[in-house]
């Protein structure tokens, strides 16, 4: 090799050397590319609305979509397999999902409070966003306070990991719920345009608030002064006339009625995000059903014979074979029909896009009747009329001597019991029964005799998740459950 | 460029070590430039030496070649070094060769023996004694960022020889490694063609940070071992103790596998060609009832269904029973399993001149699996090149291209367990036909069997799966010899991987029916760049030998991908090739980066060939950690004493080598995804909801992660004491190591209270300990005409969790639906090892004489009996206990090679002992789906010696008014009834080979021709009753190993092959 060439080669290598030798080409600071952090989010209308979608999905996963959360509620008298043995991990998934939902909403509420949107949105737009956020947050806390009593109250995104937090008394939790819902009532629209039909309306907030008041009026708070507020709030919905009962009881859950006139607010399903596979409701003889969720045969046997029974309970299979002749109904009782309005073809392909109702007009009428009876120390005609609308429909608008309408001749107690029973039948499997049994302290009375022995007063509240107690020593456990 | 220079002096000024290292490199660079600019001291004599050949003038050399015991060895290959001229010894071991004058040396080689180069000088008669190639002490071993003589090693390094790997038909490097050496635990986690293996070196250090060893191919980290052509491998080293791995710092904690690929040898070009074909069948079939037994059994069971006043009607009519008696039923395993065919072709050309070494190879593997519609193909090409540019500079290039296509019906619960063919096929009733009268797939009837699952053949055949992966790896280095002993190697490598995962489920599949056609189009691109600069100083001063290695290294990785999930297709036949025709779509994408910057220094010092010291120190900065904790520091040190070099042993006729090693060091693990230390919002399916009540969901953003700026390395401190012994000139060798490793600051999700709204944050919590013993004994018990070479390795690892942060234990629920596991089953628990199974202990069935006790639990004789741990009269959560462990207590591998004349017999036996498997499939097959013939032998008062519970009349049981005291919740499957001892001894491979004699070969112009027949998985001794004790799990989560999740079962393989060299 010639001398000159070597030098040129070496000089040519110089930049290569430098390039290869110099470290610092790599970047050690992380700048994420495919996600963002909460600190630079919630800067415009759509970003805030995206928090609502997320907050709903968190709870929908448990309450609506894959409805196995019924396991948590099967101790009522409607579902089969109830034992009234509430184990130490009972309801943990719901606890978590509600707080996840709240964690999605709080930074959005905070951003709105801090006016992060600035001039890019009008005050009206900001209030409308705030109203939706507070509505969903109130819904979350309302579930939490009813199931667990005093719970950690988190309203701002503080540094919670390091911070310590205790369970807030239920009065404080209800105060937040009431103020959130009052804001929602004042700022939500009477109705949404059809492209936003799934959102909560003013009447949704009013109804939820009426339910909050009636819950405060009953156990454990027993604050009877709340009955008036409950009645007035329900009456506002009735007087507003935006919602009404669906004429025929068979049509209540049909798809065309998913967003009114009776449905006020639901867990929305869409073909994009199909709800529960309907097989969990169906007997083996229908679309390979699994039958996981079905009524307690005793409860179902007591369901009065009226058109509503055919509408809400699954009494026969596709081919018209009644349940008691079809071994697919292995639990020896009817099934649940409310959530299986799809075609046979859809069911056979495991498809369901059925909404899961949360608030509907029948509930408004029953809340009104219950409160009105209490306020007036006995049933008024208005109270009777409200319930009778439902009874009339349930009977197919004919006089049914086995299931007569209510009259003012009934005592206060008898009327109250009748209303609660009407809730039991009309709102069955809509996750309402457990709350009614709790607030009216009926758990023991309504349980079938075999499981009554398992009942204790402690069953009215669920256990605080062990995980949370272990990680935060300031949390106390509800009576009757183990600590960490 | 200016910016770069500026960076050099400003960035990371806080890191003194880095500065020193950079200074060293600059100095080295300047020296190099100086030397070369001044004309180079080496550049002048490049044309002298061996090339200076005059007129050919022949010299005849003769001699005899014998073994160490004096017996002549026929067939020894003799070539004039550096040429293709050669001969072989005759039957008496004699040879004669004409050598051109000026030839320097003769090379003697023979399989299983050390190759020897003998200088010719003026000799005309050369007798040679061949030595068996045991563990050659002068063998050069590749270590991290360098090489060393085996005798100079102070750490624990296992070498696996290529000849050993290639003696059997090998398609996959990882599988071939199994049972070969100590400390390496390899589990074939699924038996599918091209399926996964799990490699663990010295136990499990991490819970969340990954336990995969680092794979380094030709100096390039992060290689893919599955796609590598085994024929391309020149050597493979496994670094186990901290002294060996600490130089890989943040990536060394799980051990390192170093692979060096081949280069040509001097001489005329060599062509290697090989072909083999394998025939495979399901290794073991699960027993199923025939249709006649089945229908009678089920009618009987139905007749007992008299509870709640029920009057049972038979499931099968007499006419149907007749039909099945005459025509038999369907054997579903026969329907979905087939004979698999495997073909593997290799072609390689290699050679070398004085300045250039090269190797070019190609490999084509085509493997049709035993499960219908499963297939793996691999095409790989490799070009390796190494050239001396000048006396002071050489460069090398490795380039490899691979295309792999992996295809299998799902068995990994990707689409829901109701259509997993491996799981469903042995559960389907024999009464169900494959097709209905219209030729459509049959649906399982209800009332018996597995009606909740999909037709297994439809689940297997109908999905269209197309997922090629393309890999391009290039690696380039320049090596400068600056002055004697000092060299600088600059290496740059790049890897590009394009992965595609496309599938389509048409209307004949469950998913397709459910979603009206369902598919995914997934594309991923992964790039990785590595720059490594190694400065080596290696010199001997009298009795002192010093090697110093300094490294600066930087690695950048980037990945991105996108996925379209689509459903509701208007035209089923077009599928994902017509995404426009799909009504539903979810599109998602991802993109991330990570990087690593490292400085490393290592000093080896050897005094008098007796006392050896290695010290190393590495500093790593990884982007994936919290902003306050990017840097990690990893020191190690080791000492070795070659006792055999001491006076009292030096001339020992027995001990040829004896070395004692001690090492200690710290290694790290950075095996988490990027951005884990940052707060994040999540989006996509799990956050979206139809807030507006429309047909499409509305996009949601929700809180997904909270920040953890403290996040840092997981670190492992390891102590190792080892002994290497070689006796009788290498005829008996032994290596024994004991080690203890403690891993701290485990990278784990730290649980947060539920009210935070984020379930956990990745943090450094917890600690794990591993202790082990490794013994490897090898030797040549027979060395005459019949040669026997054998090696036995024994590995024992004891693992213990010392701390789990705020948790006392962490539970895992194997996420496989339908197995009655509503609660956690596998646990990590402080004070206990990995693989812990927790449930109820099953004690068999209640006997007739235990009637009263049985009734107190609400049971009757013949029903299941469980251990009432707390003796409180019920079986509830308080009675759960440890009922098994998924990890072996020890593993053994035993390799053997017998050579006689031109014949070779080799076999490998592996054994894993003490591991349990939770056989989930049995829960269904023996209880409510009952199609295992075993259930016919149910308990009766006359047949109390049975494990199958009694079949009672429903009405009778009702009348007993029993109060059930078995409170299992929804976890009734979590009992020891289904946990089986999965220890096994397996004849993994056996190969019979014949190599043609040199005489015959020379006539046809070949240098080597070898024919072989080989069997894999031919014999297994185990008590386990599932498909396979080894290939039972697809999970790569170490915490849940031990649950049989119906993974693709393994095959029994017969392979026939030929290898040629010419």
How many angstroms away from the CA of A101 is the closest CA of chain B?
7
Q: Which tens digit of pLDDT belongs to each residue from A125-135? A: 999 999 999 99
Q: Which tens digit of pLDDT belongs to each residue from B608-625? A: 889 999 999 999 999 999
Q: For chain A, what is the HEC assignment?
A: CCHHHHHHHHHHHHHHHHHHHCCCCCCCCCCCCCCCCHHHCCCCHHHHHHHHHHHHHHHHHHHHHCHHHHHHHCCCCCECCCCCCCCCCCCHHHHHHHHHHHHHHHHHHHHHHCCCCHHHCCHHHHHHHHHHHHHHHHHHHHHHHHHHCCEECCCCCCCCCCCCCCEECHHHHHHHHHHHHHHHHHHCCCCCCHHHCCCCCHHHHHHHHHHHHHHHHCCCCCCCCHHHHHHHHHHHHHHHCCCCCCCCHHHCCCHHHCCCCCEEEEECCECCECCCCHHHCCCCCCCCCCCCCCECHHHHHCCCCCHHHHHHEECECCCCCEHHHCCCCCCCCCEECCCCCCCHHHHHCCCCCCCEEEEEHHHHHHHHHHHHHHHCCCCCHHHHHHHHHHHHHHCCCCCCCCCCCCCCCCCHHHHHHHHHHHHHHHCCCCCCHHHHHHHCCCHHHHCCHHHHCCCCHHHHCCCCCHHHHHHCCCCCCCCCCCCC
What pLDDT is stored for residue B817 in this prediction? 47
Could you say which residues from 364 to 393 on chain B have a Cβ atom under 8 Å away from some Cβ of chain A? Answer: 390
A112 close to A129: Cβ distance less than 8 angstroms: yes
Distant-in-sequence, close-in-space partners of B391: CB < 8 Å, separation ≥ 6: B40, B42, B43, B45, B46, B481
What pLDDT is stored for residue B20 in this prediction? 43
Examine the pLDDT at B26 and tell me if it is beyond 90: no
Examine the pLDDT at A61 and tell me if it is beyond 50: yes
Taking residues B27-44, report their average pLDDT. Answer: 40
Buried residues in B735-759 as b, exposed as e (16+ CB within 10 A): bbbebebbbbbbbbbbbbbbbbbbe
Confidence of residue A273 (pLDDT cuts 50, 70, 90): low
Mean pLDDT is lowest, of A402-416, B321-335, B831-845, B1025-1039, for: B1025-1039
Examine the pLDDT at B8 and tell me if it is beyond 90: no
Whether B597 and chain A come into contact, CB under 8 Å, resolves to yes
Taking residues A263-284, report their average pLDDT. Answer: 84
Distance CA B900, CA B95 (A): 21
Mean pLDDT is lowest, of A25-39, A127-141, B942-956, for: A25-39
What pLDDT is stored for residue B54 in this prediction? 41
Q: Which tens digit of pLDDT belongs to each residue from B589-615? A: 999 999 999 999 999 999 988 999 999
What pLDDT is stored for residue A274 in this prediction? 63
Taking residues B357-374, report their average pLDDT. Answer: 95
Q: Higher-confidence residue: A325 or A137?
A: A137
* Total CB pairs under 8 A between chain A and B: 279
A476 close to A167: Cβ distance less than 8 angstroms: yes
Mean pLDDT is lowest, of A36-40, B20-24, B514-518, B578-582, for: B20-24
The ipTM assigned to this model is: 0.93
Examine the pLDDT at B16 and tell me if it is beyond 50: no
Could you say which residues from 686 to 705 on chain B have a Cβ atom under 8 Å away from some Cβ of chain A? Answer: 686-704
Mean pLDDT is lowest, of B137-151, B221-235, B977-991, for: B137-151
What pLDDT is stored for residue B43 in this prediction? 33
Examine the pLDDT at A25 and tell me if it is beyond 80: no
Q: Which tens digit of pLDDT belongs to each residue from B782-831? A: 888 898 999 999 999 999 999 988 888 888 887 654 555 777 888 999 99
What pLDDT is stored for residue B52 in this prediction? 39
What pLDDT is stored for residue B819 in this prediction? 57
Examine the pLDDT at A67 and tell me if it is beyond 70: no
Of B443, B692, B697, the CB nearest to A199: B692
What pLDDT is stored for residue B418 in this prediction? 79
Q: What is the mean pLDDT of chain A?
A: 89
B94-B96-B101-B107 Cα dihedral, nearest 10 degrees: -40
**Nearest to residue B777, comparing CAs of B789, B765, B785?**
B789
Of A21, A104, A151, the CB nearest to B25: A21
Confidence of residue B32 (pLDDT cuts 50, 70, 90): very low
What pLDDT is stored for residue A159 in this prediction? 57
Taking residues B216-224, report their average pLDDT. Answer: 88
Of A35, A152, A268, the CB nearest to B693: A268
Confidence of residue B671 (pLDDT cuts 50, 70, 90): confident
Q: Higher-confidence residue: B345 or A275?
A: B345
Examine the pLDDT at B641 and tell me if it is beyond 90: yes
* pTM score: 0.80
The answer to whether the Cβ–Cβ distance between B699 and A53 falls below 8 Å is yes
Whether B593 and chain A come into contact, CB under 8 Å, resolves to yes
Q: Higher-confidence residue: B16 or B865?
A: B865
Mean pLDDT is lowest, of A66-70, B290-294, B366-370, for: A66-70
Q: For B616-685, what is the HEC assignment?
A: EEEEEEECCCCCCCCEEEEEEEEEEEEHHHCHHHHCCCCEEEEEEEEEEEEEEECCCCCCCCCCEEEECH
What pLDDT is stored for residue B476 in this prediction? 93
Q: Higher-confidence residue: B89 or B54?
A: B89
Distance CA A380, CA A398 (A): 23
Q: How many residues can be counted in chain B?
A: 1062
Q: What is the mean pLDDT of chain B?
A: 86
Q: Which two tokens mark B583?
A: 């009504």
Examine the pLDDT at B51 and tell me if it is beyond 60: no
Q: Which two tokens mark B997?
A: 């004699």
Examine the pLDDT at B68 and tell me if it is beyond 70: no
What pLDDT is stored for residue B609 in this prediction? 86
What pLDDT is stored for residue B143 in this prediction? 85
Taking residues A95-105, report their average pLDDT. Answer: 95
Taking residues A307-320, report their average pLDDT. Answer: 95
The answer to whether the Cβ–Cβ distance between B679 and A24 falls below 8 Å is no
Q: Higher-confidence residue: B43 or A185?
A: A185
Share of chain B above pLDDT 70, in %: 91
Q: Higher-confidence residue: A151 or B202?
A: A151
Taking residues B984-1010, report their average pLDDT. Answer: 87
Mean pLDDT is lowest, of A341-355, B12-26, B42-56, for: B42-56
Angle, nearest 10°, between helix axes A123-148 and A202-217? Answer: 30
Whether B5 and chain A come into contact, CB under 8 Å, resolves to yes
Examine the pLDDT at B98 and tell me if it is beyond 70: yes
How many angstroms away from the CA of A214 is the closest CA of chain B?
27
Taking residues A148-170, report their average pLDDT. Answer: 81
Q: Which of B556, B701, B806, B970 to mutate to test the interface with A (most CBs of A within 10 A)?
A: B701
Confidence of residue A102 (pLDDT cuts 50, 70, 90): very high
Whether A62 and chain B come into contact, CB under 8 Å, resolves to no
Q: Which tens digit of pLDDT belongs to each residue from B926-944? A: 988 999 999 999 999 999 9
Of B7, B533, B681, the CB nearest to A41: B681
Examine the pLDDT at B330 and tell me if it is beyond 60: yes
Q: Higher-confidence residue: B928 or B345?
A: B345
Taking residues B537-559, report their average pLDDT. Answer: 92
What pLDDT is stored for residue B990 in this prediction? 93
Taking residues B735-761, report their average pLDDT. Answer: 91
Whether B596 and chain A come into contact, CB under 8 Å, resolves to yes
Q: Which tens digit of pLDDT belongs to each residue from B396-409? A: 999 999 999 999 88
How many angstroms away from the CA of B309 is the closest CA of chain A?
10
Examine the pLDDT at B24 and tell me if it is beyond 80: no
Chain A residue with Cα closest to B4: A22
Share of chain A above pLDDT 70, in %: 92
How many angstroms away from the CA of B707 is the closest CA of chain A?
9
**Highest-pLDDT range among A293-302, B128-137, B583-592:** A293-302
Taking residues B194-220, report their average pLDDT. Answer: 85
Examine the pLDDT at B39 and tell me if it is beyond 50: no
Of B552, B621, B756, the CB nearest to A160: B756
Could you say which residues from 747 to 786 on chain B have a Cβ atom under 8 Å away from some Cβ of chain A? Answer: 751-759, 761
Chain A residue with Cα closest to B528: A26
Examine the pLDDT at B49 and tell me if it is beyond 60: no
């Amino acid at each position: 090799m010639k001398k000159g060439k070597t030098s040129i080669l070496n000089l040519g290598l110089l930049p290569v050397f430098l390039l290869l030798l110099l470290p610092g080409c790599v970047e050690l600071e992380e700048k994420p590319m495919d996600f963002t952090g909460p600190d630079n989010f919630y800067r415009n209308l759509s970003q805030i609305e995206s928090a609502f979608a997320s907050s709903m999905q968190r709870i929908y996963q448990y309450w609506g979509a894959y409805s196995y959360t019924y396991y948590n509620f099967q101790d009522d008298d409607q579902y089969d397999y109830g034992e009234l043995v509430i184990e130490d991990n009972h309801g943990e998934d719901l606890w978590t999902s509600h707080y996840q939902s709240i964690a999605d909403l709080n930074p959005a509420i905070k951003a709105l409070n801090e006016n992060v949107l600035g001039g890019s949105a009008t005050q009206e737009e900001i209030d409308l966003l705030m109203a939706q956020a507070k509505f969903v947050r109130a819904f979350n806390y309302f579930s939490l306070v009813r199931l667990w009593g005093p719970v950690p109250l988190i309203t701002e995104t503080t540094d919670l990991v390091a911070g310590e937090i205790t369970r807030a008394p239920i009065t404080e939790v209800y105060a937040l719920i009431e103020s959130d819902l009052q804001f929602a009532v004042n700022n939500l629209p009477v109705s949404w345009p059809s492209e936003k039909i799934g959102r909560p309306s003013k009447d949704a907030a009013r109804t939820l608030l009426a339910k909050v008041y009636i819950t405060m009026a009953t156990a454990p708070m027993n604050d009877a002064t709340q009955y008036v507020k409950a009645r007035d709030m329900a009456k506002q919905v009735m007087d507003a006339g935006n919602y009404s009962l669906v004429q025929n009881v068979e049509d209540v859950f049909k798809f065309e009625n998913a967003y009114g006139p009776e449905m006020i607010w639901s867990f929305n399903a869409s073909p994009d995000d199909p709800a529960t596979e309907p097989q969990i409701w169906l007997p083996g003889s229908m679309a390979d059903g699994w039958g996981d969720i079905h009524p307690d045969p005793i409860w179902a046997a007591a369901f009065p014979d009226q058109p509503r029974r055919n509408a809400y309970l699954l009494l026969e299979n596709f081919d018209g074979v009644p349940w008691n002749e079809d071994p697919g109904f292995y639990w020896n009782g009817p099934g649940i029909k409310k959530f299986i309005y799809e075609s046979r073809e859809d069911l056979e392909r495991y498809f369901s896009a059925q909404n899961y109702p949360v608030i509907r007009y029948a509930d408004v009428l029953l809340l009104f009747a219950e409160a009105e009876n209490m306020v007036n120390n006995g049933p008024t005609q208005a109270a009777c009329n409200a319930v009778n609308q439902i009874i009339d429909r349930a009977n197919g608008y004919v006089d049914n001597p086995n299931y007569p309408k209510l009259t003012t001749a009934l005592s206060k107690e008898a009327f109250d019991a009748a209303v609660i029973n009407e809730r039991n039948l009309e709102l069955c499997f809509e996750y309402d029964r457990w709350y009614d049994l709790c607030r009216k302290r009926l758990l023991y009375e309504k349980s079938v005799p075999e499981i009554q022995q398992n009942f204790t007063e402690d069953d009215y509240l669920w256990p605080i998740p062990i995980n949370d107690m272990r990680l935060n020593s300031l949390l106390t456990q509800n009576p009757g459950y183990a600590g960490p | 460029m200016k910016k770069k220079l500026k960076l050099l002096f400003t960035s990371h000024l806080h890191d003194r070590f880095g500065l020193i290292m950079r200074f060293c490199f600059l100095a080295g660079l300047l020296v190099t430039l100086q030397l070369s600019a001044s004309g180079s001291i080496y550049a002048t004599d490049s044309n002298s030496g061996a090339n200076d050949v005059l007129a050919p003038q022949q010299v005849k050399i003769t001699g005899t070649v014998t073994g160490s015991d004096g017996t002549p060895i026929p067939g020894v290959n003799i070539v004039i070094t550096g040429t293709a001229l050669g001969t072989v010894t005759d039957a008496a071991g004699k040879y004669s060769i004409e050598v051109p004058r000026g030839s320097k040396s003769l090379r003697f080689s023979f399989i299983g023996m050390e190759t020897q180069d003998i200088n010719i000088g003026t000799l005309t008669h050369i007798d040679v004694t061949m030595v068996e190639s045991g563990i050659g002490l002068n063998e050069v071993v590749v270590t991290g960022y360098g090489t060393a003589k085996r005798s100079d090693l102070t750490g624990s390094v296992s070498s696996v020889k290529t000849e050993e790997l290639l003696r059997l038909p090998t398609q996959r490097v990882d599988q071939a490694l199994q049972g070969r050496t100590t400390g390496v635990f390899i589990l074939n986690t699924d038996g599918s063609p091209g399926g996964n293996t799990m490699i663990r070196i010295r136990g499990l250090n991490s819970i969340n940070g990954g336990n995969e060893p680092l794979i380094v191919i030709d100096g390039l980290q992060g290689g893919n071992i599955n796609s590598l052509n085994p024929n391309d491998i020149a050597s493979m080293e496994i670094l186990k103790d901290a002294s060996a791995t600490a130089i890989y710092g943040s990536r060394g904690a799980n051990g390192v596998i170093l692979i060096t690929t081949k280069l040509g040898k001097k001489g005329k070009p060599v062509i290697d060609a090989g072909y083999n074909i394998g025939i495979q069948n399901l290794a073991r079939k699960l027993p199923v009832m025939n249709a006649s037994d089945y229908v009678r059994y089920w009618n009987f069971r139905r007749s007992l269904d008299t509870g709640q006043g029920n009057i049972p009607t038979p499931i099968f009519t007499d006419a149907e029973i007749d039909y099945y008696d005459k025509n038999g039923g369907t054997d579903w395993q026969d329907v979905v399993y087939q004979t698999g065919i495997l073909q593997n072709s290799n072609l390689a050309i290699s050679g070398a001149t004085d300045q250039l070494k090269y190797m070019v190879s190609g490999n084509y593997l085509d493997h049709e699996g035993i499960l219908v519609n499963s297939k793996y193909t691999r095409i790989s090409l490799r070009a390796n090149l190494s050239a001396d540019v000048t006396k002071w500079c050489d460069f090398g290039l490795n380039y490899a291209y691979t295309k792999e296509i992996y295809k299998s019906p799902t068995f990994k619960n990707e689409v829901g367990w109701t259509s997993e063919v491996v799981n469903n096929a042995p559960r389907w009733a024999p009464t169900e036909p494959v097709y209905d009268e219209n030729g459509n797939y049959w649906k399982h009837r209800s009332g018996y069997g597995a009606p909740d699952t999909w037709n297994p053949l439809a689940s297997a055949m109908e999905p269209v799966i197309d997922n090629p992966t393309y890999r391009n790896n290039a690696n380039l280095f320049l090596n400068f010899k600056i002055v004697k002993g000092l060299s600088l190697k600059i290496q740059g490598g790049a890897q590009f991987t394009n992965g595609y995962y496309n599938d389509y489920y048409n209307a004949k599949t469950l998913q397709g029916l459910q979603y009206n056609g369902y598919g995914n189009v997934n594309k991923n691109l992964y790039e990785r760049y590595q720059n490594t600069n190694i400065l080596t100083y290696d010199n001997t001063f009298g009795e002192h030998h010093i090697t110093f290695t300094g490294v600066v290294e930087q690695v950048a990785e980037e990945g991105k991908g996108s996925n379209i999930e689509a459903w509701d297709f208007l035209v089923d036949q077009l599928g994902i090739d017509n995404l426009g025709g799909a009504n539903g779509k979810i599109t998602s994408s991802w993109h991330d980066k990570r990087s690593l910057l490292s400085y490393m220094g290592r000093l080896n010092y050897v005094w008098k060939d007796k006392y050896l010291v290695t010290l190393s120190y590495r500093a790593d900065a990884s982007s994936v950690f919290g902003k306050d904790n990017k840097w990690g520091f990893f020191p190690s040190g080791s000492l070795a004493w070659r006792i055999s070099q001491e006076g009292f042993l030096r001339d020992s006729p027995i001990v040829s080598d004896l070395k004692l090693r001690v090492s200690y060091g710290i290694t790290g693990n950075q095996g988490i995804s990027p951005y884990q230390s940052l707060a994040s919002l999540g989006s996509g399916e799990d956050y979206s909801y139809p807030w507006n009540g429309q047909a499409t969901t509305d996009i949601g953003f929700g809180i997904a992660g909270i920040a953890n700026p403290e996040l840092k390395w997981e670190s492992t401190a390891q102590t190792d004491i080892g002994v290497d012994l070689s006796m009788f000139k290498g005829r008996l060798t032994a290596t024994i190591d004991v080690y203890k490793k403690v891993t701290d600051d485990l990278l784990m999700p730290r649980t947060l209270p539920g009210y935070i709204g984020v379930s956990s944050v990745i943090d450094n919590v917890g600690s794990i300990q591993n202790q082990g013993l490794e013994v490897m004994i090898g030797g040549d018990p027979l060395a005459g005409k019949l040669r026997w070479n054998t090696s036995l390795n024994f590995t024992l690892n004891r693992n213990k969790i010392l701390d789990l942060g705020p948790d006392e234990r962490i539970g895992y629920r194997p996420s496989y639906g339908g197995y009655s596991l509503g609660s956690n089953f596998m646990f990590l628990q402080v004070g206990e090892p990995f693989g812990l199974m927790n449930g109820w202990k099953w004690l068999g069935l209640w006997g007739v004489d235990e009637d009263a006790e049985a009734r107190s639990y609400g049971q009757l004789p013949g029903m299941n009996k469980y251990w009432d741990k707390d003796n409180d009269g019920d079986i509830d959560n308080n009675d759960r206990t440890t009922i098994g462990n998924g990890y072996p207590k020890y593993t053994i591998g035993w390799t053997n090679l017998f050579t006689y004349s031109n014949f070779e017999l080799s076999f490998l036996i592996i054994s894993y002992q003490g591991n349990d498997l939770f056989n989930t499939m049995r829960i269904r097959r023996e209880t409510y789906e009952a199609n295992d013939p075993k259930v016919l032998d149910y308990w009766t008062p006359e047949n109390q010696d049975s494990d199958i519970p009694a079949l009672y009349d429903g009405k009778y049981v009702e009348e007993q008014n029993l109060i059930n005291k078995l409170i299992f919740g929804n976890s009734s499957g979590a009992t020891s009834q289904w946990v089986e001892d999965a220890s096994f001894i397996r004849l993994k491979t056996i190969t019979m080979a014949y190599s043609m004699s040199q005489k015959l070969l020379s006539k046809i112009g070949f240098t080597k021709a070898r024919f072989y027949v080989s069997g894999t998985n031919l014999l297994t001794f185990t008590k386990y009753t599932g498909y396979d004790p080894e290939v039972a799990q697809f999970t790569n989560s170490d915490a849940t190993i031990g649950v049989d999740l119906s993974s693709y079962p393994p095959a029994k393989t017969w392979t026939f092959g030929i290898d040629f060299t010419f």
